[in-house]
């Protein structure tokens, strides 16, 4: 292990140290917990800290390794959970004030799988209220702060996940993504966020926002780390109606193959317009870099330029889930109330027409991806706004949401910083269930640049 603190290691690096005996899971966990304690007064990334549980899990992980039982790449690795992932016996609030004392009886499938993989849980992460927003300005648990600038938002809704990974108060985190909520925090916090294909990961036991669009996935320091977490949590679940009965495979298996011969599509008209100058400049440089490494680059025309789904699916399904609470606890909602209630006025005709447009959008996107291997664009059109200003028009989700609508996998990786030193994300999307190619292209770029080595200089 090098001179860095254990909390600053990647999952892969920590795994090597755990297996060569230079680090124990207990030492790694104590480093992460100390970092958490030092940074939380500034970031407010966690709602619940489970320090004693983490210590117990880390000790058990060490015991297993000593006995020659290795559970895989996440064995002994601290991975935190967005606080809408059910944890038996531990509060799961969804970021809602009136669920502060909600204690599930069972674990979500993804948490069960993480435990089976030997992961350690340091706690439950703060988020935008009920995952319905892009800023993580939570009126009940306080705003999450961006570690690159404490006056800025960390993105949302998985803001705690992005902030935590960026500073090392977790080595990895789970987030959810309905309109960009994994990739937005990854972009504005300077980390990696991977959203697998819709249905790749079970959502059973995860509080929903929109059943039709919800995804669960990892935020990590590196692409390989993200792929390893996705490998661990992916798989068919017959009790999740949206789960896909498709072989999982290994989305890290082709990481080292590079991009020679990879065909990159640039959806210029749809996903590059209206972006800040610094964002466009750094993303263009990234594309040129990939071209220099052997990829071919062509501009593609994305479907439904003017007649796209209007987002009625999210608000209608959110209203359906919240209907009982809206009747009984309306006054206990924060600033998402207006958006949730708007779904009550969506007619069945409008909802069905939105679904029909979504189906067309999926089919036409699949057709575009017959001629290219991946699509590349900025993740967000801008860097993080201030907490005070927020993101009232959800501009941060404008470029990410089409990937949720189509259900294709997408990753956000760092590709530079704006003139104020705030991170910029590059988004790479690919064919359904082809996370391996998405990760391959992302890894090739990541490993040939030094963006992942740069961490926020947070004074604690």
Q: Report the C-alpha gap between 169 and 40 in whole angstroms.
A: 9
Query: Which residue in the list 10, 31, 136, 157 is annotated as catalytic?
Result: 157
Asked if 113 is an active-site residue, the reply is no
Paired strand residues for 266: 299
**Inter-axis angle of helices 25-43 and 11-20, nearest 10:** 150
Query: Which residue in the list 31, 82, 170, 176 is annotated as catalytic?
Result: 82
Asked if 181 is an active-site residue, the reply is yes
Q: Which of 287, 45, 41, 334 is closest to 185 using CA atoms?
A: 45
Compute CA distances 94 → 21, 118, 124, whole Å: 38, 25, 10
Asked if 82 is an active-site residue, the reply is yes
Q: Residues 388, 390, 393, CA angle at the centre, nearest 5°?
A: 150
Query: Which residue in the list 10, 169, 170, 181 is annotated as catalytic?
Result: 181
Q: Any idea which residues carry the catalytic annotation? A: 82, 157, 181
């Amino acid at each position: 292990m090098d001179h860095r603190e254990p909390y600053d290691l990647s999952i892969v690096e920590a795994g090597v140290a755990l297996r060569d005996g230079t680090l124990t899971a207990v030492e790694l966990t104590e480093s992460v917990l100390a970092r958490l304690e030092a940074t939380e007064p500034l970031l407010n990334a966690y709602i619940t800290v489970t320090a004693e549980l983490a210590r117990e899990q880390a000790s058990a992980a060490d015991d297993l390794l000593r006995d020659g039982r290795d559970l895989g790449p996440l064995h002994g690795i601290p991975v935190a959970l967005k606080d809408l992932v059910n944890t038996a016996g531990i509060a799961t609030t969804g970021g809602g004030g009136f669920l502060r004392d909600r204690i599930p009886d069972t674990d979500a499938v993804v948490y069960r799988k993480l435990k089976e993989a030997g992961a350690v849980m340091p706690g439950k992460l703060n988020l935008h209220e009920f995952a319905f927003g892009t800023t993580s300005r939570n009126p009940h648990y306080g705003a999450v702060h961006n570690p690159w600038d404490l006056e800025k938002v960390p993105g949302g809704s998985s803001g705690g996940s992005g902030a935590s990974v960026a500073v090392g108060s977790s080595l990895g985190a789970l987030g959810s993504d309905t309109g960009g909520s994994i990739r937005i925090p990854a972009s504005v916090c300077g980390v990696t966020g991977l959203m697998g294909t819709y249905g790749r990961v079970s959502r059973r036991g995860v509080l929903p926002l929109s059943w039709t669009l919800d995804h669960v996935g990892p935020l990590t320091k590196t692409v390989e780390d993200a792929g390893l977490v996705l490998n661990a949590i992916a798989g068919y679940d017959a009790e999740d109606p949206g789960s896909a009965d498709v072989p999982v495979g290994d989305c890290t298996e082709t990481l080292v193959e590079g991009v020679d011969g990879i065909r990159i599509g640039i959806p210029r008209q749809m996903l590059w317009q209206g972006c800040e100058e610094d964002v466009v400049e750094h993303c263009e440089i990234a594309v040129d870099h990939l071209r220099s490494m052997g990829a071919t680059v062509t501009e593609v025309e994305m479907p439904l330029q003017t007649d796209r789904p209007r987002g009625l699916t999210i608000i209608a399904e959110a209203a359906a889930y919240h209907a009982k609470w809206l009747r009984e606890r309306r006054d206990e909602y924060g600033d998402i109330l207006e958006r949730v209630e708007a779904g009550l006025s969506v007619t069945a005709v409008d909802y069905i027409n939105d679904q029909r447009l979504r189906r067309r959008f999926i089919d036409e996107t699949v057709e575009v991806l017959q001629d290219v291997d991946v699509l590349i664009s900025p993740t967000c059109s801008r860097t993080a706004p201030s907490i005070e200003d927020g993101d009232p028009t959800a501009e941060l989700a404008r470029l990410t949401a089409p990937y949720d609508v189509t259900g294709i996998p997408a990753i956000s990786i760092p590709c530079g910083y704006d003139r104020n030193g705030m991170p910029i994300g590059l988004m790479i999307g690919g064919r359904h269930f082809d996370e391996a190619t998405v990760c391959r292209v992302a890894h090739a770029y990541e490993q040939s640049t030094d963006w992942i080595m740069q961490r926020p200089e947070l004074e604690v």
